[in-house]
Structure 1
Amino acid sequence: MTLAGQVFAVQLVVLVTVVAVGVALTVWELRRDQDRATARRVTDIAVSVAQAPSTAAAVRGPDPTALLQPVTERIRRQATVDFIVVMAPDRTRYTHTEVDRIGKPFSGTIDRALAGETFTEIYPGSLGPSIRAVTPVYDDGRIVALVSAGVTRDRIADQVRRQLPLILGSAGAGLLLAVLGSALLRRRLLRQTHGLAPAELRTLYEHHDAVLHSIHEGLVVFDRDADTAAVVNDQARLLLELPDGPIRRTDLPISLRRLDMRVVRDEMHVTAERVLVVNQDVVRWSGRPLGTVLTVRDHTELRDMMGELDSVRGLADSLRAQAHESANRLHTVVTMVELGLYREAVEFATAELRLSQALIDRLTGAVREPALVALLLGKVDQAIERGVELTVAEDTELDTAAPLSAHEMVTLVGNLVDNALDAVAQTPDAWVEVTVRQEDSGLYLRIADSGPGMSEEVFARAMERGYSTKTDHQGLGLALVRRLVARYGGTLRAERSPESAVLVRIPL
């Protein structure tokens, strides 16, 4: 049986038991109330008859029965009691409901009445068990007779039975409402537990808890329209740098707050310390969305390696292009020599060599970081292929990449130069200028280009979440640069005047 079914069954048993006990207690209390009310009523009737002057006068007369029987019977019928008996102190009845019992002794207790007390009792008399009151009749201070009035228990039971339909109807209506409430609760519980039995829920929880602690991916689960996460595992807290305790959407990195109720597949997100691959699925039950399941994988090291690989690949492409151009120039020189154009051949062969060697000499003399020199030389050739003039500023001078490592320097400069080349590649008279130098306060880097630049809003968006205007890019360049700069407590900003540029300062 499902958990909802078990709860409903238990509630139903409890409700029926409570209603049955309630009805029994109500009937019992009603019977007690009727007994008390009857005792008061018969006492009042008996006292009223005993205190009537006509009663004492009739007892003194020669035939008390003739005078008292009509009066007591009229009072009995009006008061709806079963008997009113007037008797002599020796128990001899003067009146009775059944006339054949007149003159016979009264059955019941009279000693307390003969002592001057008015009392009530339950006694199995000649008409059956009854509640009766007995009181003395005084004449000149003497007890000359006794009066007893009573109602049989059967009459009281009839009065209670007449009220039973109302009691049972009220109890049935209450039970029906309670059962309807339990049915609604069962329906709600059935929907919330998806019709699972307690054993299934326990097994599901145990497996759920085991899986959460065993997987190496971050997991964050949000219910629909909920601002607080229903589930956050340890790996998610580590990767997203989340605090202990309940997690709200505002605690997530900015880019993850905007995912909403949609499916996400292998989307790159960058935090201050990590590059993350994010997937999100919408959980549905019976066609309606219940919430979202967000998984996070750490790709920081892989992304760094891919960045370096991209730089090396770009350098290799440049070398292949140079080899191709060198082969063309070599064929040209050989042909000139064969044609006897010796002087022209020498001038043609040495012109490109002097320009390349001059650039190499200037870079190796100003920059003491071999990886950065190789990167810039490769980017120059790559820019030429794309129709962009890439220059290195005259004030570029760098003795060491500190506080960055050589790999980090390649990542920083390579991504910024690539972004600048992409921004101006399709524009006429495109150019990019690179400035790298070591200052007293730290490392200074400026990448200027002939493009329109980015506004503060676009630049901030590009830094916080892999933004790109190119459909074939994931837009992680600036996000990776921001992560690297933030790691060393540096600053990263863009300017559009007097020209488009990105500036980086990293303190020592």
Structure 2
Amino acid sequence: MVVAVVLLAVAAVSVTQSTREFREVRGQRMIAVAENTASLPIVRERFADPFAAQILAPDVDRAVALSGAGLAEIISPDGIVRASSDPSRVGAPAEFGTSDSRTGRAWFGDVDIAGVHSLVGQVPILAVTGDVLAVVSVSERYPSLWQLLSGAGERLAVYLSLGALLGLAASWLLSRRIKRRTRGLEIAEIAGLADHREALLHSIREGVVAVNTDGEITLLNDSACELLGLDSTVIGRRVDSVGMDPAVVDFLQSDPDSDGAHTSAGPDTVIATRTRVLALNRRAASSDGHSIGTVTTMRDSTELATMRGQLSSHKSVTDTLRAQTHEFANQLHTISGLVQLGEFDAVRELVGALTRRRAEISDAVTQRISDPAVAALLIAKTSLAAERKVALDISGESSLSPLDPAMATDVITLLGNLIDNAVDVSEGSAEARVVVGITGDGIGDGALMINVTDSGPGVPEHLRESIFARGVTSKPEGAGGPAEKRGIGLALVRLVTAQYGGSVAVTDATGGGARFTVRIPLSENAHA
């Protein structure tokens, strides 16, 4: 193929050069013959004679014979052929093209005569006053492509031979380079590998995103499109211009060294978008020792994260029951000792105090919260918070009717995460207190409202969006703190809220700390 292209290029150059030489050499020849004819006395004297066609026929024929041209004519200023070496053209209109011979100048150029592309030389016959009396035109048709090639002769043979040698050398060098770059694979094998690669990438369940060093997406499989809410048309565009979640954009654009992407087994990073919880793992990509970008794989961990949050909430109740079991055992031991000592009045006072304290905690919750699951969670969290010397109060405005079991499960997930975070940041503060408010009676705007206020340091304004988006790194047990402090917390709160079409926001609390507000629209079936 390369040799053929080179030969065609050489032939085209040769034809172009031959055509140019023909035009220059033969054009001057046409003008010379036309000037010679125009200078003949008989032509100057008889060009206007009514019988000029017969009288001047020998002269125009002689011009054709002398020049080897195809046609010689004498034309009147009004463009009518008066005499011609082709008698059939006498009296017909002549073709001038772009000629300016009728202005008194000699000219040669291309003109289509009777549909034949020809090289024409035209010379005016001038009067003493300078007026144009007639025009002598001598023309020759352009040679065919075959005539040009054959006319090139030895020169063309040399060019083609040289071109063939250069083509063979170029083909050999090119094929050697291609073989080296493609590791000896043929074109069909390369195409097969490419098709196989595409099929594999788009069939795996994990999402795959490749980003080059300029921050442009170079690969995006079907699973990644689904997880990120994109389509394949974004390939070739920058990651920050395709509408991805900001937390994912920040992760893809961050320094690969910052998250262990250059290590052999980098940890997963959990990121919660507004609709999904994604576990991402990134590796640096290189070619010939040069970095070409990163490759990120992602899995949908939404269901797992939701179940984990629910399990965490239920575990809180279990932990509380376990703690209460120990507490009751200690209290029973105390009562048993007092009975053995015969201190029956002390037993009565102790049992009364314990009963009143338990009743106060339960009544504070159950009088306002009618849903048993949510009430149990709040009672459990109150006891757990007290063990950490944090007071957990239920606001006086709280009022919750029984919920649908499915929704109640999600509500305790929301409350559990919000209260755990609030207790964590409030512990050790001057007045360690968490206030929970929850309303949802299907009246007013028909929304379930949850407010959790803590006495911690608060949330800086520039972090009030990102705290709901970025999760934490998945690490082995014992690394990075207790396992319960390595969940996705607030990200899960936003995810569950979004599933109901609700919203979550954080503001400054009165007197310091942070106030988290969740609003969930209540449907007709939200209540049991």
TM-score by length of 1: 0.65
Contact 2:6 2:167 in 1 (8 A): no
Q: Distance in 2 between matches of 1:386 and 1:317?
A: 14
Q: Establish whether residue 258 from structure 1 lines up as the match of residue 250 from structure 2.
A: yes
Describe the shift of the 1:118–1:21 C-alpha distance in structure 2 as closer, same or farther (beyond 3 A).
closer
Contact 1:15 1:178 in 2 (8 A): no
Q: Distance in 2 between matches of 1:118 and 1:331?
A: 139
Which residue number in structure 2 is paired with residue 147 of structure 1?
none
Contact 1:314 1:379 in 2 (8 A): yes
Describe the shift of the 1:226–1:177 C-alpha distance in structure 2 as closer, same or farther (beyond 3 A).
farther
Q: Distance in 2 between matches of 1:365 and 1:288?
A: 68
Aligned length: 390
Residue 392 (structure 2) aligned to one of 390, 393, 415: 390
Q: Distance in 1 between matches of 2:305 and 2:64?
A: 106
Which residue number in structure 1 is paired with residue 296 of structure 2?
294
Which residue number in structure 2 is paired with residue 17 of structure 1?
7
Which residue number in structure 1 is paired with residue 316 of structure 2?
314
Secondary structure of the residue aligned to 2:338 is helix
Contact 1:19 1:175 in 2 (8 A): no
The alpha carbon displacement at 1:170 in A equals 13
Contact 1:371 1:410 in 2 (8 A): yes
Q: Establish whether residue 503 from structure 1 lines up as the match of residue 521 from structure 2.
A: no
Describe the shift of the 1:482–1:27 C-alpha distance in structure 2 as closer, same or farther (beyond 3 A).
closer
Q: Distance in 1 between matches of 2:175 and 2:407?
A: 64
- What are the within-5 Å matches in structure 2 for residues 95-114 of structure 1? none
Q: Establish whether residue 494 from structure 1 lines up as the match of residue 506 from structure 2.
A: yes
> Which residue identity is paired with 1:199?
A
The alpha carbon displacement at 1:462 in A equals 0.3
Contact 1:308 1:407 in 2 (8 A): yes
The alpha carbon displacement at 1:173 in A equals 11
Secondary structure of the residue aligned to 1:221 is strand
> Which residue identity is paired with 1:14?
A
Q: Establish whether residue 239 from structure 1 lines up as the match of residue 227 from structure 2.
A: yes
The CA deviation string for residues 9-58 of structure 1, in whole angstroms up to 9 with x for no partner, is x33x1354246535765897799799969999x999xx9xxxxxxxxxxx
TM-score by length of 2: 0.62
> Which residue identity is paired with 2:248?
L
C-alpha RMSD of matched pairs (Å): 4.4
> Which residue identity is paired with 1:503?
T
Contact 1:224 1:290 in 2 (8 A): yes
Which residue number in structure 2 is paired with residue 450 of structure 1?
455
Which residue number in structure 1 is paired with residue 471 of structure 2?
466
Contact 1:454 1:496 in 2 (8 A): yes
Which residue number in structure 2 is paired with residue 479 of structure 1?
491
Higher Cα Rg, which structure:
1
- What are the within-5 Å matches in structure 2 for residues 196-207 of structure 1? 196-207=185-196
Residue 440 (structure 1) aligned to one of 431, 441, 444: 444
Contact 1:23 1:168 in 2 (8 A): no
Contact 1:389 1:432 in 2 (8 A): yes
The CA deviation string for residues 113-155 of structure 1, in whole angstroms up to 9 with x for no partner, is 9x98895599xxxxxxxxxxxxxxxxxxxxxxxxxxxxxxxxx
Describe the shift of the 1:377–1:16 C-alpha distance in structure 2 as closer, same or farther (beyond 3 A).
same
Secondary structure of the residue aligned to 1:321 is helix
Q: Distance in 1 between matches of 2:224 and 2:28?
A: 77
Secondary structure of the residue aligned to 2:296 is strand
Contact 2:391 2:433 in 1 (8 A): yes
Describe the shift of the 1:118–1:242 C-alpha distance in structure 2 as closer, same or farther (beyond 3 A).
closer
Describe the shift of the 1:322–1:120 C-alpha distance in structure 2 as closer, same or farther (beyond 3 A).
same
> Which residue identity is paired with 1:214?
S
Q: Distance in 2 between matches of 1:256 and 1:422?
A: 27
The CA deviation string for residues 464-486 of structure 1, in whole angstroms up to 9 with x for no partner, is 22379x95344621111112223
Contact 2:7 2:163 in 1 (8 A): no
The CA deviation string for residues 225-283 of structure 1, in whole angstroms up to 9 with x for no partner, is 153x3332222222222256335423221111112252263211112222121122222
Q: Distance in 1 between matches of 2:62 and 2:328?
A: 145
Contact 1:19 1:171 in 2 (8 A): no
Gaps of 5+ in 2: 38-57, 69-150, 474-478, 523-528
Secondary structure of the residue aligned to 1:331 is helix
Describe the shift of the 1:20–1:326 C-alpha distance in structure 2 as closer, same or farther (beyond 3 A).
same
The CA deviation string for residues 157-215 of structure 1, in whole angstroms up to 9 with x for no partner, is xxx99x979x979997999799889979996x789867753123212222123213321
Q: Distance in 2 between matches of 1:371 and 1:379?
A: 12
> Which residue identity is paired with 1:494?
V
Q: Identity across aligned pairs (percent)?
A: 32
Residue 371 (structure 1) aligned to one of 359, 370, 373: 373
Contact 2:10 2:160 in 1 (8 A): no
- What are the within-5 Å matches in structure 2 for residues 109-508 of structure 1? 119=65, 196-227=185-216, 229-243=217-231, 245-246=233-234, 248=237, 249=239, 250-259=242-251, 260=253, 262=256, 263=261, 265-401=267-403, 405-438=407-440, 440-441=444-445, 442-466=447-471, 471-472=480-481, 473-474=485-486, 476-499=488-511, 500=513, 501-508=515-522
Q: Distance in 1 between matches of 2:200 and 2:319?
A: 46
Contact 1:16 1:175 in 2 (8 A): no
